[in-house]
A and B are shown apart, each in its own frame.
Chain A
Amino acid sequence: MSGSDRVGLAWRDELAAQIMLHLDSIDHLEIIAEREWSGSRRRLDALRDLSRQVPVSLHGVSLGLVSSSNVSEERLGRLARLVERLEPDHWSEHLAFVRVRGIEIGHLAAAPYAPATLAGALRNLERACEVVGKLPQLENIATLLTPPGSCWTEAEFIGKVVCGAGATMLLDLHNLYANACNFGQDPFAMLDSLPLKRVGSVHLSGGHWETGLDGRSRLVDDHIHDPPEAVYELLEVLAFEAPQSLTVIIERDGHYPDFAALLEQIARARTALARGRARREAELRQVA
């Protein structure tokens, strides 16, 4: 593990007491932005105080930046005010759209990997940077359907958005793993096709296998199961491939295990990072 790598947790109110008791074992906390939009003054003060003890990031889930439609100015304004208030280390959003022409999907969806979406995404990211003051880290999403009308692969599209905007990537390794499983691809090849030198943060989470009416099993990302072994293996490869420091966040949204189990997942992530870093060092020594 590089000296500046960090491993932490997604902040959830259900975990708050245990997080506070174990801050010495947590390098970073990620706060869902939308949940704090109507937070009281005291709550926001408490979160700001927390951000002064441990690095915090704000994670948006509803801006819908990757769309041919314009991002909501009202939502960007709210995000900007929260960033100003909590002083996070960085903020992040998804490579997804969530609404169009008044239709709310209510979750994250992949728009066509096509020039119109790319142009809209770059325009929206430029606007987000103007309003919030800095670009978000951009997270890959899990999708169960390749968007029709696509002319690029998911990895090609991600590369064009992230590099075109000059942004950093929040790489969700379980989303990557789920897409690889569901579309019959090798997750390690998929990892290799992404702009790994631009990864700043990593999400680790879990999901469940579900069989559809067609008899096909698909891996559904749900954040209520432990990260599978493959996700730690992907993290080790990432730590080997990417020289920059990484912030790794364990995401859990329900069916909470004992906090000791979450601390164990943090420890496993640190071990995976350390293994990847050690392999990288050994290879560099060999080359020299």
Chain B
Amino acid sequence: MNTNPMEVLLARLFASPDEVEQFLQDRESYARNCGLTAGQVAAALEIDAASLRFAANSFERKRKSRSPA
């Protein structure tokens, strides 16, 4: 099994809005720390910040409400 490092990055971001802010401060270093390849780092640089913040906050609220999908 080879876990796709992009899943690691997304899991960290979706698990905590604080992680999103750290990521947005220095996307490239954060992405490399997650083990992303050069191509994946380029994709991570393109993530829309507003949508990412919105998604992470939505996840946070859903975790608190413990609602299934």
Binding site for B on A (CB under 8 A): 32, 34, 59, 61, 67-70, 94, 96-97, 99-101, 103-109, 111-112, 114, 116-117, 120, 139, 141-145, 147-149, 175, 210, 212-214, 216, 218, 220-224, 253-254
Partner of A112, one of B7, B15, B53, B69: B7
- 27 inter-chain pairs at a CB distance below 8 angstroms, sorted by A residue, are A61-B68, A70-B1, A96-B69, A99-B11, A100-B3, A103-B12, A105-B11, A106-B62, A108-B69, A109-B11, A109-B59, A116-B4, A117-B7, A120-B4, A139-B69, A144-B55, A148-B6, A148-B40, A148-B46, A149-B4, A212-B50, A212-B54, A213-B53, A213-B54, A214-B54, A218-B54, A224-B67
Residues 6-40 of B, flagged 1 when their CB comes within 8 A of A and 0 if not, give 11101110110000000000000000000000011
Bound together, the chains give a CA A50 to CA B53 distance in angstroms of 43
Shortest Cβ distance from B1 into A: residue: A70
Cross-chain contact B4 with A117 (CB below 8 angstroms): yes
Q: Is B15 a contact of A104 with CB atoms below 8 Å?
A: yes
Known: A107-B62, A144-B51, A220-B58. A100 touches B69 (CB 8 A): no
Q: Are A149 and B59 in contact (CB under 8 A)?
A: no
Inter-chain contacts of A149 with B (CB < 8 A): 4, 6, 39-40, 43
Q: How many A-B residue pairs have CB under 8 A?
A: 118
Chain B window 42-67, contacts with chain A (Cβ cutoff 8 Å), 1 for yes, 0 for no:
01101110111111001100110101
Main SS at interface, chain A = loop
Q: Tell me how far the C-beta of A49 lies from the nearest C-beta in chain B, rounded to whole angstroms.
A: 24
Distance of A127 Cα from B56 Cα, bound (Å): 31
Q: How far is the CB of B29 from chain A (nearest CB, A)?
A: 16
With contacts A111-B7, A148-B43, A221-B69 taken as known, whether A105 is within 8 angstroms of B51 at the C-beta atoms is no
